[in-house]
């Protein structure tokens, strides 16, 4: 009850902290819009050659692109969420301050990341998506229930995304330099979430494996819901299972890390 209000305050702080950087937000909106245009024309060329690739028609493929651009920053698919700050705090030893606070480390950072996600969804997601929907033929559902299911799926995607990045960030306790891990997370995020191409497109074992990895919760699953290509309950179960597993793993690693922690500096 009382601690619930704390984490709401942390989330609100996360939202406002990102909201202070307006130039960065504007630049992000521009980048996502341009990148969306490039991808849309690439996809159109591809779907022209191979209609119904991955089970999508052209309008669905275009919608998929703009959805990806809209949630790319919010879900930190390529990284750069609160985990980069967490890594920096572990590296410099500022994490000591987070540790002596009467608050739970994982919940604290998850709340901060949720606040950031909400801001970036509104600040960076809405404009590219509206731009795409206005200029291209898209396939959006008319049924409010589908939209509601999509929102639930996005929320679960947010938790899965945080779960992955929190685990990676905690590894800084052992490796100290997070650059390599950041690059790997970015690559995995790009490819395995379906940011480059929908995962439905990939054939054989690779496709099967990549569709079962946690990253597919970030873009592929919510997109399939929005495009009417997936069953909501199955999607929720998949995302929910990964969310629980990742948060539990994060908790485990956190307790090991803080027990054997060598806080840097002094």
Tokens linked to 11: 């989330």
Give the CA-trace dihedral at 23, 219, 195, 251, to 10 degrees: 80
User: Considering beta carbons, is residue 93 or 141 the nearer one to another protein?
Assistant: 93
Burial 17-53 (b: 16+ CB within 10 A, else e): ebeeeeeebeebbeebbeebbebbeebeebbeeeeeb
Closest CA to 258 of 30, 138, 143, 90: 90
- Binding another protein by CB under 8 A: which of 49, 100, 134, 145? 100
Least spacing, CB of residue 107 vs another protein, in Å:
12
The site that binds another protein (CB under 8 A) totals a number of residues, namely 26
Give the interface segment with another protein, choosing from 95-103, 147-155, 200-208, 248-256 (CB under 8 A).
Answer: 95-103
Interhelix angle 126-135/58-72, rounded to 10 degrees, is 160
Encoded tokens for 200: 């439905």
> Two tokens at 114?
């949720």
16 binds another protein (CB under 8 A): yes
Give the C-alpha separation, 76 to 129, whole Å. Answer: 17
**At a CB cut-off of 8 Å and minimum separation 6, what does 107 contact?**
7
Residues with Cβ within 8 Å of 221's Cβ and at least 6 positions away in sequence, in order, are: 153, 157, 230, 235, 238, 239
Q: Indicate whether 204 belongs to the interface with another protein (CB under 8 A).
A: no
- Least separation in angstroms between residue 100's CB and another protein is 4
* Cβ distance to another protein smaller for residue 111 or 138: 111
Among 13, 207, 232, 240, binds another protein (CB under 8 A): 13
Minimum CB distance to another protein, residue 169 (Å): 18
Asked if 171 touches another protein (CB under 8 A), the answer is: no
Q: Which residue among 44, 88, 94, 236 contacts another protein (CB under 8 A)?
A: 94
Tell me which stretch binds another protein (CB under 8 A): 16-24, 127-135, 138-146, 147-155.
16-24
Closer of 24 and 252 to another protein (Cβ): 24
Are the C-beta atoms of residues 169 and 83 closer than 8 Å to each other?
yes
Count the neighbouring beta carbons within 10 Å of the beta carbon of residue 187: 12
CA–CA separation, 224 and 137 (whole Å): 17
Window contacting another protein (CB under 8 A); options: 31-39, 94-102, 180-188, 223-231: 94-102
Point out which span in 4-12, 177-185, 202-210, 240-248 binds another protein (CB under 8 A). Answer: 4-12
Binding to another protein by CB under 8 A, coded x per residue (else -) over 103-132, reads x-----------------------------
Residues contributing to the site for another protein (CB under 8 A)? 2, 5-6, 9-10, 13, 16-17, 20-21, 93-94, 96-97, 99-103, 258-259, 261-263, 265-266
């Amino acid at each position: 009850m009382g601690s619930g209000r704390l984490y709401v305050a942390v989330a609100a702080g996360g939202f406002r902290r990102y909201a202070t950087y307006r130039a960065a937000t504007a630049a992000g909106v521009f980048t996502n819009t341009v990148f969306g245009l490039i991808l849309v024309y690439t996809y159109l060329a591809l779907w022209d050659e191979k209609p119904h690739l991955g089970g999508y028609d052209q309008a669905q493929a275009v919608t998929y692109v703009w959805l990806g651009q809209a949630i790319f920053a919010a879900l930190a698919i390529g990284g750069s969420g609160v985990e980069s700050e967490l890594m920096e705090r572990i590296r410099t030893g500022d994490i000591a301050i987070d540790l002596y606070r009467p608050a739970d480390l994982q919940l604290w950072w998850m709340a901060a990341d949720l606040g950031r996600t909400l801001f970036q969804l509104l600040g960076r997601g809405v404009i590219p998506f509206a731009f795409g929907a206005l200029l291209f033929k898209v396939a959006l559902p008319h049924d409010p229930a589908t939209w509601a299911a999509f929102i639930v799926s996005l929320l679960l995607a947010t938790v899965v995304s945080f779960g992955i990045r929190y685990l990676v960030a905690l590894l800084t306790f052992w490796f100290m330099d997070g650059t390599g891990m950041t690059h790997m997370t970015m690559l995995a995020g790009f490819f395995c979430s379906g940011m480059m191409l929908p995962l439905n497109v990939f054939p054989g074992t690779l496709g099967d494996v990549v569709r079962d990895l946690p990253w597919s919760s970030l873009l592929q699953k919510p997109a399939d819901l929005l495009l009417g290509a997936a069953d909501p309950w199955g999607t929720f179960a998949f995302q929910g299972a990964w969310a629980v597993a990742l948060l539990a793993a994060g908790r485990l690693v956190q307790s090991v890390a803080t027990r054997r922690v060598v806080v840097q500096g002094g």
